[in-house]
Structure 1
Amino acid sequence: MARSPAWASRPKTRGLVLDVIRAARSISRVELAAATGLTGATISEVVRELLGDGLVVEAGRGAPTGGKPRTLVQLNPTARYGVGVHLERNTCVIVVVDLAGRPVARTSFQGVASLPPERALPMVAAQVDALLTTAAVERGKVLGVGLVSYGPQDRGAGVLLTPQPTEEWRDHPVAPRLAEHLGLPVLLDNDAAAAAIGEYWLGAVEPHSTYGCIYMATGIGGGVVVGGEVYRGSSSNTAEIGHISIDVHGDDCPCGNVGCLENYAGPSALVRQALETPGLARRLALDPAADNFLTEFARIAAAANAGDTEARALVERSARYLGHAAVTLAVLFDLDLIVLAGQSFAVAGSTYQAVIQQELDRRLFSRRAHPVRVVPSVNGSDAAAIGGAVLVLQSELTLGRGRPEDGPRPVPAGAAEAP
């Protein structure tokens, strides 16, 4: 069914109004006009349209202000859903979130990394289908799937440009193939960028702030959000702080750089360093043949938290390196906040948070102008998967899409929208 002229003529206006409603939780039409700068007549028409589409609902009346109490509106969480799929080197996490960004179902499984994409993607699709069925989510309400993974990527083509986990994944059109299996649009994005935007959607950051996200799972990534939008750069491969060189005389990295942060401070680096410490490796029963660095890293982090001096020294050294990267990120983008997200921070976050905060307080160029706080992600170890689903939901807000009769549509990288 074709869109109505009113729908097609103002996607930005609808998106603006819906985003303000999301951020405010509940708000009156008068307050919407003040917050957006739109006329009362425009607000009334857009809200009427959103109510008709089921995206918002009326939520009682606000406090008296001397006249008739104003009717409040808020998002209808069950109106639409997004699916987030996080493809990691060892694990795949899938979440379903409602329009408010709240997870309603989750599953995870291993084994994807050991399979070629032609076998792995049908397995992922089957898991998504099963999760939607278990959660009793109507497929017509699902806007799409946010597939998030490490970079580099070609978001427009939905292609990974890396030979990880194996060479077969390089240049494979993961997003188009997964979309074919699911019959749903699939958006490919960076896991750190996804984790960063998830904080914005759930109201964990100020709406107009400029903040960064350091993401650490098996590797280290980064993302920057400016006024609710991910900073993309020329190819959407920005803020890859894991591949900032911290030693110009360091070892070669598979990315092509030398002395990369990830090779000194990432979980695999800590596991390698622990294995080179015989007493520690023996105490923690570390397996030199293990290929799941997250499990081995978790053992090191648990020992550090329990007071093992050698384990703690390794974690603190990693945190110092990350503090160096955080200072670089904050200087480049003049950040207000840095969020720590990912599975590795979930098990060792307190140490990293304290050390990175110390480095920023001591070394940041702009520290006298304003502080930069370091905080843990509100989405915990599933931050990337939840953020992937949020990226799909955000396309609903910013472009005004999501009517079931129109069908959800992917948002291509760099797509222009009508004013």
Structure 2
Amino acid sequence: MASSPIWASRPKTRGLVLDVIRAARSISRVELAAATGLTGATISEVVRELMGDGLVVEAGRGAPTGGKPRTMVQLNPLARYSVGVQLERNTCVVVVVDLAGRQVARTSFQGVAMPPERALPLVAAQVDTLLATAGVERDRVLGVGLVSYGPQDRRAGVLLTPQPTDEWLNYPVTRRLTETLGLPVLLDNDAAAAAVGEYWMGAVDPRSTYGCIYMATGIGGGVVVAGAVYRGSSSNAVEIGHISMDVNGDECPCGNVGCLENYAGPSALVRQALATPGLAQRLGLDPTAADVLTEFARIAAAANAGDTGARGLVERSARYLGHAAVTMACLFDVDAIVLAGPSFAVAGSIYQTMIQQEMDRRMFARRAHPVRIVPSVNGSDAAAIGGAVLVLQSELTLGRPRPDGEARPAPAGAAGLH
């Protein structure tokens, strides 16, 4: 007997219902039917299955509405987990989040500026240790979201850049990490991950279009439309750090000239501080240091404390980023731009104020609507948390394929999560 269309698309139906429950935090079956357009009978059946899988639990009665109080349902956050790994040029952050996207464990370490054959086993060992320390059962882990800088080939699971060493170029990072961990691994851009993490955590209107500027050692960008990351043709979109601020500027390793990152990024500020007479010594900067983030944090701390030299450098960087933010708003007509990443975490107030001023003054559509500049709810770990969220989202959202186009095999104990 032929199945009806609704049951033929059962995984999508389950995903739709589960995502609405996640977004609502707590919701009745009647409200689920209204939100999804599905029949009451379908909602009852899907919710029963989700409860049977342990993904959803009943959460008491709702407020009286003139009749019998409705039974509310919500996610069971402890039912599944995912891991986020944010790989920077010399640092790595690993987080574990539950089904609601809440961070339950975290670790970070330095020293991954080495060939991938040596670095990835270190990353895998840290993931294993963190899961064990947090007491998270492995059969409840959906997978690992590995996020890093671009350019990337997400389908092939490789970085298309020789950073931090030449051996990383075209190295099969997702395949190797999957083999080592025994868990599915998704590769994505750190800025895109940070952007979608805001949606998952309920920090933005789920219907909105918003941007994200992500700043760690470099500068990246992402745009999210109604909960979905704007991908472009190869998932290398919104690389805001490599838009040209000066057509006569110096050549960037990316191939462009006058790139934003070379004027406003943390590495640029460290170079500028080292070249400013007396400033490097006053701030205790180390000209031989490989850890750009630590040196940048010294500059940011001094700027926050009122050092005029350091403040001038940060404000100059913020003005450049303000130009870039206006460009993003003009291209994508966003409602808000989130500032995420470890560099904004240490100097965010200066950047937020100055970028907002530039936006209010110069955005093309400013008379149509404002664009808010806001800090990330996920702080310095926004990319790592976003990486974990991307794994959850690949399981919970409607019709979201894997980057390689194949169906994702469910881990033991997680059958039918779609």
Over 3 Å counting, the alpha-carbon distance change for 1:400 and 1:229 in structure 2 is closer
Question: In the aligned structure 1, how far is the partner of 2:111 from the partner of 2:8?
Answer: 44
- State the SS of the aligned residue for 1:237: coil
- AA aligned to 1:331 is C
**1:312 aligned partner:** 311
Query: 1:170-189, aligned counterparts within 5 Å?
Result: 170-189=169-188
1:151 Cα shift?
0.2
Question: In the aligned structure 1, how far is the partner of 2:172 from the partner of 2:7?
Answer: 32
- AA aligned to 1:53 is D
Question: In the aligned structure 2, how far is the partner of 1:6 from the partner of 1:97?
Answer: 31
- AA aligned to 2:313 is L
Aligned 8 A contact 2:153 2:234 in 1 = yes
- State the SS of the aligned residue for 2:278: helix
- State the SS of the aligned residue for 1:121: helix
Question: In the aligned structure 1, how far is the partner of 2:284 from the partner of 2:58?
Answer: 58
Over 3 Å counting, the alpha-carbon distance change for 1:75 and 1:400 in structure 2 is farther
Question: In the aligned structure 2, how far is the partner of 1:7 from the partner of 1:130?
Answer: 41
**2:122 aligned partner:** 123
- AA aligned to 1:266 is G
CA deviation vs aligned residue, 1:335-360 (integer Å, no higher than 9, x gap): 00100000000000000000000010
The alignment status of 1:411 with 2:402, answered yes or no, reads yes
Aligned 8 A contact 2:335 2:372 in 1 = yes
Aligned 8 A contact 1:11 1:398 in 2 = no
1:398 Cα shift?
1.5
Question: In the aligned structure 1, how far is the partner of 2:119 from the partner of 2:231?
Answer: 28
The alignment status of 1:93 with 2:96, answered yes or no, reads no
**1:390 aligned partner:** 389
**2:69 aligned partner:** 69
**1:49 aligned partner:** 49
1:288 Cα shift?
1.2
1:414 Cα shift?
5.8
- AA aligned to 1:178 is L
**2:32 aligned partner:** 32
- State the SS of the aligned residue for 1:234: coil
Residue ranges of structure 1 left out of the alignment (5+ in a row) = 402-409
1:413 Cα shift?
4.9
Question: In the aligned structure 2, how far is the partner of 1:206 from the partner of 1:199?
Answer: 10
**2:102 aligned partner:** 102
Aligned 8 A contact 2:86 2:93 in 1 = yes
TM-score, normalization by structure 2: 0.94
**2:214 aligned partner:** 215
Aligned 8 A contact 1:75 1:100 in 2 = yes
1:333 Cα shift?
0.5
Question: In the aligned structure 2, how far is the partner of 1:289 from the partner of 1:119?
Answer: 24
Question: In the aligned structure 1, how far is the partner of 2:107 from the partner of 2:284?
Answer: 29
- State the SS of the aligned residue for 2:202: coil
**2:10 aligned partner:** 10
Question: In the aligned structure 1, how far is the partner of 2:407 from the partner of 2:361?
Answer: 42
Question: In the aligned structure 2, how far is the partner of 1:121 from the partner of 1:35?
Answer: 43
CA deviation vs aligned residue, 1:46-98 (integer Å, no higher than 9, x gap): 11111111111000000111111000000000010010000001210000000
- AA aligned to 2:85 is V
Aligned 8 A contact 1:146 1:188 in 2 = yes
The two structures, once aligned, show a CA RMSD in angstroms of 1.7
Question: In the aligned structure 2, how far is the partner of 1:415 from the partner of 1:116?
Answer: 29
Query: 1:10-409, aligned counterparts within 5 Å?
Result: 10-113=10-113, 115-398=114-397
CA deviation vs aligned residue, 1:266-306 (integer Å, no higher than 9, x gap): 00000011111112112112111112111111011001000
CA deviation vs aligned residue, 1:158-215 (integer Å, no higher than 9, x gap): 0000011111111101011000000000000000000001100010000110000000
- State the SS of the aligned residue for 1:77: coil
Residue ranges of structure 2 left out of the alignment (5+ in a row) = 409-417
Structure 1 stretch displaced more, 33-42 or 74-83: 33-42
- AA aligned to 1:165 is P
Alignment size in residue pairs: 405
CA deviation vs aligned residue, 1:105-154 (integer Å, no higher than 9, x gap): 111111111x2100111111111011111111111110000000000000
